[in-house]
Structure formats: C-alpha cells, structure tokens
C-alpha cells in the first residue's frame, strides 16, 4: 500500500531532520498516493454492469464487507478472470482512524467516507455492489443469503448470491463482555453513525444542563462523560472530548465548564497497554494535568440509564457513579453470522474464525477471511518438527549435517515466521547459527534438532485487530487472486513439509509501520518500527501528514485537510445536527 511507503519515507525524513516535520504535510499532500485513487468513469464497467450478461467461465468472487480488508482487497484485485459481487450494509468505505475526530467535529463524517461504487465502477471486470447484510453463509451450496431492510421501501428484501470464492471481511462487533446495560445505554465507536450519535449526545448534554429547571446535582450528572477502555480509541476520544469542551464549548456554555468531568476507566493497571511504557507514562501524566479523571484497575459491572457501576480490582469495592454519557470502547467480539458459519465448518471450540497463513478459513476450501473477523492460526514448528527433519534428511540417515538443511532453511523461515523473530530476539545471524549456538556441533539427530528449536514457537503472537493489518491482508489476498493462474503452474511458496511440491503462494506476512496515540492539545505519541518513540507537537504534525497521505482518495484528502484548516480558524461547530 503506497500510503505505507510514504509513512516510511516520512518517518525517515522526520528522524534525520526533526525540524522538517511541519513541512511533511505539504510533502505528503503533493506526493502521497492513497489507498484508493478515484479516476474517471470507465466505459468498460458500464458495459459489464448488466447482471444478465454473466460470463460463465469466470470465477465468481463474493466479498462480504466494505471495511479496510474488503475495500483494499477490492481495490487491488485487477485480474479480469473474476466476476465480483460486494455485499455490505454500508455503501461506503470509512477511514476509521479518524472516527474519534468525527465525534466532536474536528473532521466531518462525510470527509472520511468514500462510496464503494466509485471503486466498483472503475473495475475492468464485472463488479457489482449490493447494499445488504449477509445473514447466512451456506457452504454446502456455495451461496450467501443476504437481506436488505428498508422500512420505507417495502420492508425486507432477501436474495442469495452464488460464489466460487468467498472473501469474508465483515469486521467485528463491539464486545460488551455481557456487562448488563451496556447495549442499552452506552455508545460505541465503530461506525460513522456511532460517531455522529456521540457528537449529538455531547451537545444534548450541554443543552440539557443549560435548562433553568435542572438541579445542580442533575447538572453535574449530565456533564459527566465516562469512557470505558484505555486503548488507543478510548484515549483518543477522551482527549478529543477534553479539547472540544475546553477550546469550544467553554466559550458557548461559560457557566457549565466547572461542572464538566471526563472519566476514563481502564480495568488493567495502565492505559495504552500495547504501547511503550514511556508513552503510557506521558499519556497518564498529560491526562492528570488536563484534569481528565483516570481510573485504572476499575472494571465496569453494570450500566443503568443514569449510573455506571464499577468494581475496584484492588479493593473489591463497588462504586456507583452518575453519568450523562458513556462511550464503550473495550474490545471486539465475533458477529453472529460468523459464529454460525464457524459452527457449520466445525470451528466450534474457537472464539474467532481461524484461517491458515494464506488467509484461507480452516476446514474450508474456497473461503477466505481477513481483517477483524478472523485470526491467523500460525502453525507451530514443533507440530511439524519430524517432517521438517525428514524433508532435510534426504538419505534417511537419521542424522543431519548443517549443510544438509541449508536447502530448506529459506522454506522453514518463510513457513514459520516465528523462527525469524526468535533469531532477531536472540541476535543470531541466521538459522545455521541458531543450530550451532544451541549445540556447538555440526551434526544433529532429531532430538538435538527439536531442542534447538524448542523455544521458537513461544514467539508466536496474534496480529492486532487494526486497520493496518486488515489493509495489508486485503492487498495480499488480492495479489494471490491476481496471480492464481501463474502460481498454480509455478508455485512460489515454501516447500510443503507434509506433502509434495510447494505451496502456491508465500504466506501472509505482516509489516508493522508503527502506531499513533493522539493525546489532545496538539500532542501525539507514536511508536514507530525499531522501538522508536516520538511524543509531542511535532508528532502531531507527523500524524497529520500520515493520515492525510493514507486517506482513500483525493476528494477525502482535500476534505479532511480543509476540515482541519477550518477547525484551526473557526473552531468546531456546536449545532445539534
């Protein structure tokens, strides 16, 4: 994804010339290619568009979802031998990292969305979009059942779509951990509508608290904003809300400012757990200075219409706190339709849909899953240790020299990425050094081989549920689809240790380009590859640059930048629309 390349360039330039950081916005604007570029109408797509004239030799690909994974797959798929149908309840792609900015009007909702049909219509192959929800996947008949519900246009409309290949990219739902009252009373922050609803509710709270008949206690309650979950989204939302209140609302509701309270609840000991400790410490100090009430070690047990109950983990004590608005941002769960699908294919004892390293759903042949709805079930080296040994031991001697398995080293490293992580962590040059380091010997039997690799699998980690992972998976899978024919003939993947020949494709490998945590007041923390840490106002400018360059199209890019500019000049709008 070209956006990432610009991110890399930007971070390099930033570290060699920190004073240049403010220029980066201009640089990324003029040069940054986005995930999706919008060009002219293609006459081809119009010609193909009539659903009646399908080419039966073409493989039917059905994509479920138009989030990061689905959209980047659709965008990168170019081979004309497919016929694609995209099914999603939303006819647009949303640039979700800017959702917290939408909650208070730093950025407008419409600035961060791009119509999927703008992408579909430029495809050189037959591509269709259907605004509907998939409610059932029928693997036996290779069909997905879809439903569109519009009360104003004749109610429920149901239809099925056949597939040869199915790409599941439906994302996840917010996880309430079955906490009572959360679904009914809390706001989430996953969809555009959620962000718009939060924005309206914040204004509602201020307007309501301004009424003359409201008592002082009730006023305090209404103006108590509670954020549950100290991850990047919860932290960014708290910070943005704090800025909105202090920079804009304080002027319009001068008598209310003193009553406003923002509380951030986190069950573990620290916020921003996935970040470096320095970032966590900085964020916690900044929130303390800003007057954001940070409560760690506090688990939500119940939410009612006016109170939120928490259990303090240290003391076991339960506290009931009156609130005006709760935003729930604690983690993700599996959607019911995916759960149902998992039962069908025998993944009954899992919580998340599992795929192999090629993003193919385990227990299924032509179904792929990517993004937040799936997780890669990385194969352990130890599971395959004997077959690997046998594959290297061509003469079946039961003993291997280092030179013997030089041939399969690349395949091992490619098939089991944990090996490379292990090598890097132990600061070993390569696989051969690992073997030698373990035994100081040049020859092994299977036992020695096992023991030298015994720690490797502990390096295995699930990928985080982020936009970055989903987008990379989408591009990867589309690339596999584009080269399907060639790779069938000339496989380019690693050796099949348990079978003959090679895998068709290289397995998916995630490249981490770092992560931002905006902290409000034009301060951002960033954790970049190679354990680089950057905190402060210049990081905020890096954040502006990266996000501007990664936006989906020139249209959204222009809109978001003009939104930022407008906020600097006029502040945020407080109209309740």
Nearer residue to a second copy within complex by CB, 90 or 311 = 90
Which of 41, 318, 320, 410 binds a second copy (CB under 8 A)? It is: 41
Which of these, 113, 103, 242, lies nearest to 560 by C-alpha position? Answer: 113
Q: What is d(CA 414, CA 392) in angstroms, rounded to the nearest whole number?
A: 15
Helices (H), 55-110: 68-76, 99-102
575 binds a second copy (CB under 8 A): yes
User: In whole angstroms, how close is the CB of 549 to a second copy at the nearest point?
Assistant: 18
3-state secondary structure 204-228: HHHHHHCCCCCCHHHHHHHCEEEEE
Is residue 323 classed as helix, strand or coil in its secondary structure?
coil
CB of 382 to a second copy, least distance (A): 49
Within 159-218, the residues that bind a second copy by CB under 8 A are 159, 161, 192-193, 196, 201, 203-205, 207-208, 210-214, 218
* Cβ distance to a second copy smaller for residue 272 or 561: 561
**Which range touches a second copy (CB under 8 A), out of 85-93, 313-321, 443-451, 537-545?**
85-93
Query: In the complex with a second copy, which residue's Cβ is closer, 146 or 517?
Result: 146
Chain centre to alpha carbon of residue 367? 20
Distance CA(248)–CA(306), nearest Å, equals: 26
Residue 108 in the binding site for a second copy (CB under 8 A): yes
| Rounded CA separation 436/402 (Å) | 9
Strand order in the sheet with 298-303: 298-303, 307-312, 318-322
Residue of 55, 157, 269, 443 that binds a second copy (CB under 8 A): 157
Kindly state the smallest distance separating residue 44's Cβ from a second copy, in Å.
11
Q: Does 574 bind a second copy (CB under 8 A)?
A: yes
Could you tell me the smallest distance in angstroms from the CB atom of residue 335 to a second copy?
20
Q: What are all long-range contacts of 551-555, with beta carbons under 8 Å and residues at least 24 apart?
A: 551/34, 551/35, 551/95, 551/112, 552/34, 552/35, 552/36, 552/71, 552/93, 552/95, 552/114, 553/34, 553/36, 553/37, 553/38, 553/114, 553/118, 554/34, 554/37, 554/38, 555/38, 555/114
Which residues, numbered 433-472, are part of the site for a second copy (CB under 8 A)?
none
**Binding-site member from 252, 274, 387, 486 for a second copy (CB under 8 A):** 252
Distance CA 449, CA 36 (A): 47
- With contacts defined by CB under 8 A, how many residues of the chain interact with a second copy? 70
CB of 125 to a second copy, least distance (A): 15
List contacts with a second copy (CB under 8 A): 38, 41, 45-46, 49-51, 90-92, 108-110, 113-115, 117-118, 121, 128-132, 148, 150, 152-154, 157-159, 161, 192-193, 196, 201, 203-205, 207-208, 210-214, 218, 222, 251-255, 305-306, 324, 554-555, 558-559, 562, 566, 569-570, 573-577
């Amino acid at each position: 994804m070209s956006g990432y390349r610009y991110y890399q360039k930007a971070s390099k330039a930033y570290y060699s010339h920190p004073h240049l950081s403010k220029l980066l916005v201009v640089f990324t604007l003029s040069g940054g290619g986005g995930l999706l570029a919008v060009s002219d109408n293609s006459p081809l797509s119009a010609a193909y568009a009539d659903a009646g004239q399908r080419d039966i030799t073409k493989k039917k690909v059905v994509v479920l979802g138009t989030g990061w994974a689905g959209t980047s797959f659709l965008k990168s798929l170019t081979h004309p031998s497919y016929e694609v149908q995209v099914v999603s309840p939303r006819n647009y792609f949303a640039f979700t990292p800017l959702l917290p900015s939408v909650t208070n009007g730093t950025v407008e909702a419409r600035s961060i969305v791009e119509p999927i049909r703008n992408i579909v219509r430029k495809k050189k192959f037959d591509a269709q979009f259907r605004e509907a929800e998939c409610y059932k996947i029928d693997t036996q008949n290779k069909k997905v059942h879809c439903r569109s519900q519009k009360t104003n246009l004749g109610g429920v409309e149901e239809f099925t779509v056949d597939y040869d290949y199915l790409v599941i990219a439906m994302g996840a739902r917010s996880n309430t951990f079955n906490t009572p009252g959360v679904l009914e009373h809390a706001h989430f922050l996953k969809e555009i509508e959620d962000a718009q609803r939060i924005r309206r509710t914040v204004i509602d709270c201020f307007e309501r608290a301004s009424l003359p008949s409201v008592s002082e206690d009730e006023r305090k309650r209404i103006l108590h904003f509670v954020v549950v979950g100290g991850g990047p989204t919860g932290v960014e939302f708290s910070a943005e809300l704090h800025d909105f209140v202090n920079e804009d609302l304080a002027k319009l509701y001068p008598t209310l400012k003193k009553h406003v309270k923002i509380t951030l609840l986190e069950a573990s000991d620290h916020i921003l757990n996935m970040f470096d400790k320095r970032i966590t410490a900085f964020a916690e100090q900044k929130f303390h200075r800003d007057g954001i009430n940070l409560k760690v070690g506090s688990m939500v047990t119940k939410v009612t219409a006016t109170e939120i109950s928490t259990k303090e983990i240290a003391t076991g004590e339960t506290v009931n706190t009156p609130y005006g608005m709760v935003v729930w941002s604690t983690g993700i769960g599996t959607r019911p339709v995916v759960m149902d699908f998992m039962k069908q294919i025998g993944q009954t004892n899992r919580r998340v849909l599992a795929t192999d390293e090629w993003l193919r759903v385990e227990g299924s042949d032509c179904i792929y899953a990517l993004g937040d709805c799936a997780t890669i079930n990385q194969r352990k080296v130890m599971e395959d240790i004997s077959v690997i040994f046998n594959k290297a031991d061509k003469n079946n001697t039961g003993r291997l020299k280092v030179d013997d398995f030089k041939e399969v080293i690349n395949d091992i490293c490619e098939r089991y990425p944990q090996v490379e992580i292990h090598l890097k962590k132990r600061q070993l040059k390569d696989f051969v050094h690992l073997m030698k380091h373990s035994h100081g010997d040049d020859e092994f039997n299977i036992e020695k081989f096992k023991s030298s690799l015994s720690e490797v699998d502990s390096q295995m980690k699930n990928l985080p549920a982020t936009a970055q992972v989903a987008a990379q998976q989408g591009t990867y899978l589309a690339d596999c689809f584009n080269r399907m024919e060639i790779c069938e003939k000339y496989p380019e993947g690693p050796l099949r240790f348990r079978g003959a020949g090679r895998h068709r494709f290289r397995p998916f490998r995630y490249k981490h380009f770092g992560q931002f945590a905006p902290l409000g007041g034009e301060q951002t923390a960033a954790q970049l590859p190679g354990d680089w840490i950057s905190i402060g106002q210049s990081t905020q400018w890096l954040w502006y640059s990266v996000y501007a360059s990664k936006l989906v199209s020139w249209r959204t890019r222009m809109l978001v930048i003009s939104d930022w500019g407008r906020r600097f000049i006029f502040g945020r709008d407080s109209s309740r629309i």
